[in-house]
Amino acid sequence: MHHHGYDCCAITGGTHLPLPVLALCAVLAIAVIGYAVVATQLGDRWPARRIGWFALGAASVASSCLIMADGSQPLLGHVASMVVAPVFLVLARPLRMVLRGCAADDRRRVARLAIRLRRMHLHNRPTWVAAEYVLSMAFMVSPAMMLLGSSLVVHLAMMLYMVACGIGFFRTVLGVPIWGTVHPRAVRARIAWAATAGMALIGWVLTMWPAAAGVTTAQAVTFTVATVGVTGAAALSVRDGSAAHVSVRIAPHDVTSRGMEGVG
């Protein structure tokens, strides 16, 4: 799964990286700086530790880009983009931070847009969130993905899509509200264990037939341990809604400063 034929830029040690990867890493670096600036303006209302979570999440996305560009450890790139980065980004709560710095009218506009997009993408259905999380990973490691050839753009687009799937999954499972909605504990636990079983099945197939995905047995085992371990840990972490995650329905026309406490 090596990539060839891209415009590259030399860095230390003679290593060459595709320019799209360097551009994406630069965007992520700017995002971290912007996140820190906005968080600083919020003062005591924003925990400093979330700046660290966001930086780790952005670093994980950048690492996944570099791994995918190199092509020697593709499964590690999948783990970084779909398991590691989403957890850190969910803990960082970037959407909540940005909206707290916006005027009330802007929050209402963003709320309407986000709710509309979520309904279009079925993200109000926890079963679909878990299914998309598992199926996107299955597609990424399948021979079907290899048929796309050495298109780095396609691989990076899929990687970013996997990050989005991971964020949706971990937000739902961990009970981080989306416009004030937290699904019941039993529902979140069920989809978390179902996703864990799905990752275990993908890992078993890879371990039994590693050549089909162009990986080694050791890589397949590492992938299985990482994905099942993190997804299973999320399932074990499912708790009833706490005081910080109060389930309150927020209408698109009533997104106020008080209501933003439920927006993750």
Give the Cα separation of 171 and 210 in Å (integer). 31
Task: Provide CB contacts within 8 A for 63, sequence distance 6+.
Answer: 77, 80
Q: What's the burial of 93, exposed, middle or buried (CB within 10 Å: 0-12/13-18/19+)?
A: buried
Banded pLDDT at 218 (limits 50, 70, 90): confident
CB-CB contact of 115 with 252 (8 Å): yes
Longest Cα separation, the chain: 55
Give the Cα separation of 9 and 50 in Å (integer). 33
For the whole model, what pTM was predicted? 0.77
Give the Cα separation of 260 and 65 in Å (integer). 33
Helix-helix angle 49-70:85-92, to 10 degrees: 160
- pLDDT-wise least confident of 47-56, 83-92, 232-241: 232-241
- pLDDT-wise least confident of 38-47, 189-198, 234-243: 234-243
Q: How many CA atoms lie within 13 A of 48 on its CB side?
A: 2
Give the Cα separation of 214 and 202 in Å (integer). 14
CB-CB contact of 93 with 264 (8 Å): yes
Banded pLDDT at 149 (limits 50, 70, 90): low
Give the Cα separation of 89 and 53 in Å (integer). 6
Count of CB atoms within 10 A of residue 256's CB? 11
Task: Provide CB contacts within 8 A for 194, sequence distance 6+.
Answer: 130, 134
- Tell me what pLDDT residue 201 has: 95
